[in-house]
Structure 1
Amino acid sequence: MFNRPSRLCAVLLAGLSIAAGACAAGSDSRADAVRIVADMRRIVTPQGIEETRAVRIGGIDQWISVRGTDRRNPVLLMLHGGPGYVSMPTSWYFQRGWEEYFTVVQWDQRGAGKTYAANDPAKVAPTMTRARMLADAEEMVAWLRKEFGKDRIFVLGHSWGSSLGIQLAQRHPDWLHAYIGVGQITDAMESERRGWRFAMDGAKREHNEEAIRELASIAPYAAPGKPLALKDLYLQRKWLGRYGGAVYGRTGFDAESAAVKLAPEYSDAELRTLWDGTEFSSSRLLTDVLAQDFSVYTTFDCPIVIFNGRHDYNVSSSATAEWFAKVKAPSKQLVWFENSAHEIFNEEPGKTLVSLVRYARPFAEKAGDVAPQ
């Protein structure tokens, strides 16, 4: 029984210790903490939906979670970043409020998260192409529209996922209430160059000779017409993250990486392979997507909403804003998050919720695709 506050705190602290990597707690401490998280966010409403399941997409089983307090609300599919950096594991933290206004679908894409764990990597590896990933996204949207009886849904693409989302918006505007881009990729190589400059400026301000030396060793970084080596990208990201260009006011993703250990959707075995999936996906897709220029897509036939972190240098928010000024769409909205870098929904979860309700949901309301009030 966990009805005493001291016992409850002890269980939570034990779970958090495991999340941070400490192994001294009891073997069941993660399970206890996860049960608390799962019970706190349990969907209890009559029209609610709360399920984690595999869907056959692109010839393999791909895992999704579907959560919402009323399945008559509009469907919102989140395309995670990375490639391979799944958002389902931290959705327990940032997503619960969304579920009162949307039926939210988290999807572990091909080669990532639970989907990576459920399939033979050797068989999946030859299929890890950007074309196949986009085809998977099209299949997933089509499946959701049929499964929930919806003419249109929302697609939210984050970082790598925004490269898929922007193309979905181009190809299938009639499938979408609106496209929502978060950390939207535009001219990827220009974004990389701006990120390198940010990191170098930070290193010089701090008189960090190690950082200056390492960053200088990869200059000219992301030079036009030159392929970007993965090792150079990782080095740039090392120092970009150190100076808060990935998560504002922090020196990287450590807090988020630890928080995945409290994800109720994942077994211990799936957590053990989580970062393997990230590496598997990134090594096959990342340099290819960063060679693309998505800023050529400027005309859309569906509404476009962009959430932009003021301090985002992981994907340059200034480059995104410059692209957005050229966008033509039936409706467009750029929302700045002044206290965020690249992980907006984790950095400013309250403003993310308010912005989704204010700038996105009205398109579904106008179409009559919301639960009765």
Structure 2
Amino acid sequence: MSENTSISFMKKLRIENTKQMLMINGNDKANPLLLFLHGGPGTSQIGFIRSYQKELEQHFTVVNWDQRGSGLSYTQQIPQSSMTISQIIKDTIQVTEWLLDYFSKTKVYLAGHSWGSLLALHVLQERPDLFHAYYGISQVTNTQLEEKTAYDSLRKTNRFLSVALGLLGPPPWNKKIQHFIFRVCIELSRGGFTHHRRHILTVLYQLLAGNEYGIKNISRFIRGQRFSAKYLTDDLFRFDAFNSVSSIKVPSFFISGRHDLIVPAETSKQYYQFVDAPEKRWHYFKNSAHTPHIEEPSLFANTLSKHAVYHL
């Protein structure tokens, strides 16, 4: 690919009272745009994702965005009152409109991972006209249902962790320490962020040694994650897709990892079967936990590109 057709740059975008960071990469600027909404709240991925999206960049111009209060978009000057789901939905729409104007496009593809999939459902309710199609990765539906499903699954399948979980007791839990203990159990069961531990090590290495964040910005990543979680976690736990989003007006494709116990595939598939959309498909990644786009990047790129080509 010649240099004048490829694209790779970072962009600070002014959104109301904040500057927010975009990273834009692709092999051919003529390719369709894919806006990726990261998980969390606050788990920005600019610092490590390039290692996993090389094949994706052959098909799309991929836009990663550190959301308000996350990663390189975090500063101590961000008003706490602006850390709401409604504001981040507005931010998402503004980012999308800027991309359409900058690249002279009429629509983009939208991918949302975990927390980002919650945001995406809201954005698609407000402005479906901006998007070709939607990819829901580890689709959040109802956090309390997801925790109960994962708790029951772990108690049945993991004898060692079943003892600890029995002492913890079933959800719902009111204390942060209870959620933390449960999350540790999920990670120990290899049903957490990744199923294969080597991917965690690679992500950490990229965060520390990569050009995007590096050691000088790792503290912003950590502080942004804590800051976002503090103000947005309640929104996450109140969300119920079954009650609030019964239909999506664009073709929608759902991707879940077989080993995922943060957002069990069982609950995401229930929503896939429930929601009404012009077209919908279900994809089950057998070697992944919560981050199939990291654990199986080739399959992920092929899955997205197949549907993108079909709908262009």
TM-score (norm: length of structure 2): 0.92
Structure 1 residues 314, 72: CA separation in 2 closer, same or farther (over 3 Å shift)? same
1:330 aligned residue: 278
2:82 aligned residue: 127
Structure 1 residues 74, 301: CA separation in 2 closer, same or farther (over 3 Å shift)? same
Question: C-alpha deviations, 1:143-190, integer Å up to 9, x for none?
Answer: 111111111101100000000011112221111000111010012210
Match of 2:266 among 318, 334, 342: 318
1:244 aligned residue: 190
**Matches of 1:107 and 1:249 in 2, distance apart?**
26
> Sequence identity of aligned pairs in percent?
28
Q: CA RMSD in A?
A: 2.0
Which structure's CA Rg is the greater one?
A: 1
Amino acid at match of 1:111: G
2:12 aligned residue: 54
Mapping 1:72-151, distance limit 5 Å: 72-116=30-74, 119-121=75-77, 123-151=78-106
Alpha-carbon contact 1:111-1:124 (below 8 Å) kept: no
Amino acid at match of 2:66: D
Match of 2:252 among 288, 292, 304: 304
Structure 1 residue runs without a partner (length 5+):
1-42, 365-373
Mapping 1:356-371, distance limit 5 Å: 356-364=304-312
- Tell me, yes or no, if structure 1 residue 219 matches structure 2 residue 169: yes
Mapping 1:348-363, distance limit 5 Å: 348-363=296-311
More deviation in 46-55 or 288-297?
288-297
**Matches of 2:220 and 2:124 in 1, distance apart?**
32
TM-score (norm: length of structure 1): 0.78
Mapping 1:164-175, distance limit 5 Å: 164-175=119-130
Alpha-carbon contact 2:199-2:295 (below 8 Å) kept: no
User: Alignment length, in residue pairs?
Assistant: 310
Match of 1:233 among 179, 199, 207: 179
Alpha-carbon contact 2:110-2:120 (below 8 Å) kept: yes
| Aligned-residue offset at 1:88 | 1.3
Mapping 1:1-40, distance limit 5 Å: none
| Aligned-residue offset at 1:351 | 0.5
**Matches of 2:187 and 2:153 in 1, distance apart?**
10
2:218 aligned residue: 271
1:339 aligned residue: 287
| Aligned-residue offset at 1:319 | 0.6
| 3-state SS, counterpart of residue 249 of structure 2 | coil
Alpha-carbon contact 1:243-1:251 (below 8 Å) kept: no
| 3-state SS, counterpart of residue 256 of structure 2 | strand
More deviation in 47-56 or 243-252?
243-252
Structure 2 residue runs without a partner (length 5+):
none
**Matches of 2:5 and 2:198 in 1, distance apart?**
42
| 3-state SS, counterpart of residue 55 of structure 1 | strand
**Matches of 1:189 and 1:256 in 2, distance apart?**
28
Structure 1 residues 97, 251: CA separation in 2 closer, same or farther (over 3 Å shift)? closer
| Aligned-residue offset at 1:278 | 1.0
| Aligned-residue offset at 1:251 | 9.7
Amino acid at match of 2:116: G
| Aligned-residue offset at 1:266 | 2.0
**Matches of 1:58 and 1:44 in 2, distance apart?**
37
| 3-state SS, counterpart of residue 65 of structure 1 | strand
**Matches of 1:295 and 1:316 in 2, distance apart?**
16
**Matches of 1:362 and 1:263 in 2, distance apart?**
35
| Aligned-residue offset at 1:242 | 0.7
| Aligned-residue offset at 1:54 | 0.2
**Matches of 1:314 and 1:166 in 2, distance apart?**
19
Match of 2:238 among 287, 291, 298: 291
